[in-house]
Structure 1
Amino acid sequence: MTEHALVIGASGGIGAALADEFARRGLAVTGLSRRGDGLDVTDPASVNRVLGRLGGPFARVVVATGILAPPGRRPEKSLGEIDAAAMVEVMAVNAIGPALILRHLPRLLPRDAPAVAAVLTARVGSIGDNRLGGWYSYRASKAAANQIVHTAAIELARTHRQAALVALHPGTVDTPFTAAYRGHEKLAPAEAARRLADVMEGLGPAQSGSFYDHRGEAVPW
């Protein structure tokens, strides 16, 4: 029987690459996005409408949505650059959006078969690994997303004993999302997707609620 994968944010660089990678591995892929499906992850009604029409079950679920900063802005480099409205927008997309999506996860995963779900967060959301500072809104939103994943994994384990829910850091992927950051060593989207799919294949219930990078190495909270 063919397994199914769900990629939310499938029109983005890493989301599209993950959809292609899952298809290459023989999964039937459902991709959702704002562009293709009108999915606004900051709008509960939109999330309920788009995800509510899905049946599942899905052996793989990836939430690959996110923004670095609102359009026309950049991540803050100092306390003086913090803007309340911009911070609210980043938190809405990067933390509240995944939370609204995860509300549907118990219904979308199989109850009696292995499955892995992941939210793509970022290493800069790690409090323990933060040595450079800056990027207040983005860091805070990804740290919040990590906490949401960890908490949801505890609840999910009570009803889906074979499932794993994790936060994943995809690396710095060469997409329009990171175009302004030329000093970073970047992964091609296809390579990042291959690595993430490999990591997901190696996860089980014992790893649920954890935070890993694209090499499968644990990232400190």
Structure 2
Amino acid sequence: MKEVGGTMQALVVGAGGGIGSAVADRWGRDPRFSSVWTVSRQQRPGHGAEGTIQPLLTRHTEEDIAAISKRVLEESESLSRIVIALGTLHGPSYGPEKSLEALRQTSMQEVYRVNCILPMLWLAALASGLRKSPDCRIAVLSARVGSIGDNALGGWYSYRSAKAALNMGLRSASIELARRAKGVKLMAFHPGTVDTALSEPFQRGVPEGKLFEPDFVATRLDELLDGHVANGELSYLDWEGKTIPW
């Protein structure tokens, strides 16, 4: 059952990206929410109800992460939803590797930093304040290619490895939070192939009907969070709600 009365509070990290922006806009229009904190590297237009969206800018430094998390936790009675929507697959000087010979230290470090290190730092900075949240459901953007058991194609070394490392970090976090903050539910979420800048160079081979709009993914993620209560476990789910093998 969904809460009513505008008492819920949410935080979206990575609100400048396609999925994060869609989630923030959806919750900003949702009367259940009294405030939605949005964290991004650049100012984003607010599309929520007046006064609901609370935009914050970040450089994703450790100092920024600590300061923003402290402010959100101090100004929120309790957070009901958190989405950490950070990820990179390609950039001006790197892309998914097709062979071992393509591996480069600088590109691997950047892919690991954005896909694994930053999400875990955000979660760590928020952890101390989650004790006061009786029902906080947290989704972190993972990917099916981070599954070791599901990897039958190889390649994409840095991205696969970074998402697998993220999954392991989230697994450890779920065990710790089950002791420290019993009202927290943690989810590693695979959104499918979404029509965003991240997937744009790789959309040609996507089957018909499997390239999703960000609004559709935001709706599915919202529904999945609504349907999962705290149980001390990390769920690794795709957009359909199906469990992905580790």
Range of TM-score over shorter length = over 0.9
Q: Which amino acid aligns with 2:42?
A: R
Task: Name the structure 2 match of 1:35.
Answer: 42
Shift in Å, 1:215: 1.1
Say which is worse superposed, 129-138 or 50-59, in terms of deviation.
50-59
For residues 223 and 133 of structure 2, what CA distance do their matches in structure 1 show? Answer: 22
Identical columns (%): 41
SS at match of 1:210: strand
Q: Which has the higher strand share?
A: 2
Task: Measure, in 1, the Cα distance between the counterparts of 2:25 and 2:212.
Answer: 16
Q: Does 1:130 align with 2:151?
A: yes
* 8 A contact 1:69–1:138 mirrored in 2: no
User: Which is further off, 194-203 or 26-35?
Assistant: 26-35
CA positional deviation for 1:73: 2.1
Corresponding residue number in structure 2 for 1:52: 70
Tell me which structure has the larger Cα radius of gyration.
2
Asked if the contact 1:7/1:30 (under 8 Å) is kept, the reply is: yes
Checking the alignment, whether the CA contact within 8 Å between 2:10 and 2:81 is kept in structure 1 is yes
Does 1:8 find its partner at 2:13? yes
Contact 2:147 2:244 in 1 (8 A): yes
Q: Which residue of 2 aligns with 1:159?
A: 180
State the 1:118 CA deviation. Answer: 1.2
Alignment of 1:133-144 (within 5 A): 133-144=154-165
Q: Which runs of 5+ in 1 are unaligned?
A: none
Change (3 A) 1:44 1:108: same
The Cα offsets for residues 132-182 of structure 1, whole Å up to 9 and x where unpaired, read as 111000000000111111111111111221210111111111111111112
Does residue 63 (structure 1) correspond to residue 81 (structure 2)? The answer is no
Q: Deviations over 1:48-101 (max 9, x none)?
A: 122222123210001001110343321101111011111011111111101110
Is residue 41 of structure 2 the alignment partner of residue 22 of structure 1?
no
Work out the CA distance in 1 between the residues paired with 2:85 and 2:175: 21
Aligned CA distance change for structure 1 residues 3 and 110 (closer, same or farther; 3 Å): farther
Q: Is the 8 A contact 1:164 1:204 kept in 2?
A: yes
Give structure 2 stretches of 5+ with no counterpart: 1-5, 44-55
User: Out of 196, 199, 207, which is 2:221 matched to?
Assistant: 196
Deviates more, 1:138-147 or 1:26-35: 26-35
Q: Contact between 2:182 and 2:232, CA under 8 Å: does it hold in 1? A: no
> What is the TM-score normalised by the length of structure 1?
0.93
The aligned counterpart of 1:217 is: 242
Give, in whole Å, the separation in 1 of the partners of 2:133 and 2:122.
21
Q: Secondary structure at the match of 2:89?
A: coil
Give the superposition deviation at 1:25: 2.9
Deviations 1:182-205 (A, max 9, x none): 222310100010001101111112
Deviation of 1:125 (Å):
0.5
1:116 aligns with 2:137: yes
- Normalised by the size of structure 2, how large is the TM-score? 0.84
Aligned length: 220
Seen in structure 2, the aligned counterparts of structure 1 residues 112 and 59 have a Cα distance that, compared at 3 Å, is closer
Amino acid in structure 1 at the alignment position of 2:89:
L
